[in-house]
Amino acid sequence: MGTVGDAANKDTNGSLAEKKPTVVFVLGGPGSGKGTQCANIVQHFGFTHLSAGDLLRAEQKSGSENGTMIQNMIKEGKIVPSEVTIKLLQKAMEESGNDKFLIDGFPRNEENRAAFETVTQIEPAFVLFFDCSEEEMERRLLSRNEGREDDNIETIRKRFKVFLESSLPVIQHYESRGKVRKIDAGRPIEEVFESVKAIFTPKNEKAE
Ligand SMILES: Nc1ncnc2c1ncn2[C@@H]1O[C@H](COP(=O)(O)OP(=O)(O)OP(=O)(O)O)[C@@H](O)[C@H]1O
Ligand SMILES: Nc1ccn([C@H]2C[C@H](O)[C@@H](COP(=O)(O)O)O2)c(=O)n1
Ligand SMILES: [Mg+2]
């Protein structure tokens, strides 16, 4: 199977053209509700959900040679080198059999963003940005109860700092290109999803 981003298909003129998958980056601070809303989008709109954090945690638990490094980075709230994360994303995209992806929690810094663009030649269709106050995100993370090693107040503070210093500039990069769809994620789950649905529903299918 070819690498995502270099699948060759014939276009209407019969010449070889690249068939690129549709990618939506799903960004927002830790606990803003990215995973929760992605699960809803998958059900309604047929995307495959790929959470970079989930892929890294699975890689760590698989006994990979990068396991200890990944575990240490996650504990410190730091961003794992792009090479590792992009390989996991590419593999998951290839194995999915789908051509529409929600890439959740990636790109998390400028290095992630530039490397993904260079390696895959894929530009996101748009960037969904879940905007939420730190106070609310902290409350959610401390009551998530999924046994995540990074859901403790010390690591949460580090993750907030990395989000402000490294991830927000990525969102600003896409904002300046008109690609960001910002959602007030501080509301109840159902209300947030109403706003999400409006973004994913094609204009000609919206109620008058
Ligand atoms: N709108 C909401 N209102 C209240 N609680 C929410 C809302 N959205 C998600 N939650 C809850 O908050 C917690 C964090 O949500 P979720 O895991 O979706 O966030 P995330 O952005 O994926 O976080 P992370 O970046 O840490 O993976 C979960 O326990 C989830 O059930
Ligand atoms: N692009 C990414 C995404 C995630 N990580 C690491 C560091 C994060 O704190 C952790 C958890 O991610 P989440 O599940 O909260 O999205 O995973 C990374 O290094 N690079
Ligand atoms: Mg998540």
Provide the ipTM: 0.99
| Sequence ranges of the domains in the chain | 17-197
Mutate to test the pocket of ligand 2, among 23, 55, 66, 74 (most ligand atoms within 8 A of CB): 74
Task: Give the residue among 101, 93, 133 at the shortest CA–CA distance from 6.
Answer: 93
pLDDT in tens, 3-16: 343 444 444 554 55
Ligand 1 atom nearest the C-alpha of 130 is 21
The residues, any chain, with a CB within 8 Å of residue 148's CB and separated by 6 or more, are 57
For residue 31, say whether it is annotated as part of any ligand binding site.
yes
Cα(132)–Cα(135) distance, integer angstroms = 8
Question: How many C-beta atoms surround the C-beta of residue 134 within 10 A?
Answer: 16
Which of the residues in the chain have pLDDT under 70? Answer: 1-18, 206-208
Residue 177 CA, ligand 1 centroid: distance in Å: 28
Domain 17-197 classified CATH 3.40.50.300? yes
For residue 79, say whether it is annotated as part of any ligand binding site.
yes
pLDDT in tens, 95-107: 999 999 999 999 9
Query: What pTM value is reported for the model?
Result: 0.94
